[in-house]
Amino acid sequence: MFGQVRGMPRLLLRLEALLALGIAVGCYARLGKSWWVFVGLFLVPDVTMVGYSAGKKVGAALYNVGHWYGLPLGCIGWGVWTHHPLGVGVGWIWVAHIGFDRALGYGLKYAQGFRVTHLAAEDLADRAKAA
């Protein structure tokens, strides 16, 4: 079954995401970079949803790559290591986006469909019962 996280663990995961959003926004603010850049790049990770035009499996895989904390944290690390503040800023914007999505309940996707996520309130069994 999919979307198994329920009750208090689901709430804690969503609060954790809200904390990640807050930390990312705070760290971006400390960089002193443009808020117009922040606003302009905030929704860029959602471009990965275009993968759904190639099918559910490709869509889920591409979406998950764009909404996995590993890549933006790598971007931040690269920016710090190379003293490249743009990389750090983009990484914090990306973390903020993921935190925002997860706080709203949009989780990593399964290949069964866009609404089947690790945080979804509904899973395949719930959908079958409703049908």
Task: Report the SS3 class of residue 105.
Answer: coil
Is the pLDDT at 123 greater than 50? The verdict is no
CB contact set of 57 (below 8 Å; sequence gap of 6+): 111
The proportion of the chain whose per-residue pLDDT surpasses 70, expressed as a percent, equals: 88
Question: Per residue in 76-119, pLDDT tens?
Answer: 999 999 999 999 999 999 999 999 999 998 999 998 888 888 87
User: Which pLDDT does position 2 carry in this prediction?
Assistant: 53
Where do the structural domains in the chain lie, given as residue ranges? Answer: 7-130
Is the pLDDT at 128 greater than 80? The verdict is no
Q: Packing angle between helix 7-31 and helix 85-103, nearest 10 degrees?
A: 150
Backbone phi, then psi, for 2, in 5-degree steps? -115, 160
Question: Per residue in 35-86, pLDDT tens?
Answer: 999 999 999 999 999 999 999 999 999 999 999 999 999 999 999 999 999 9
- Give this prediction's pTM: 0.87
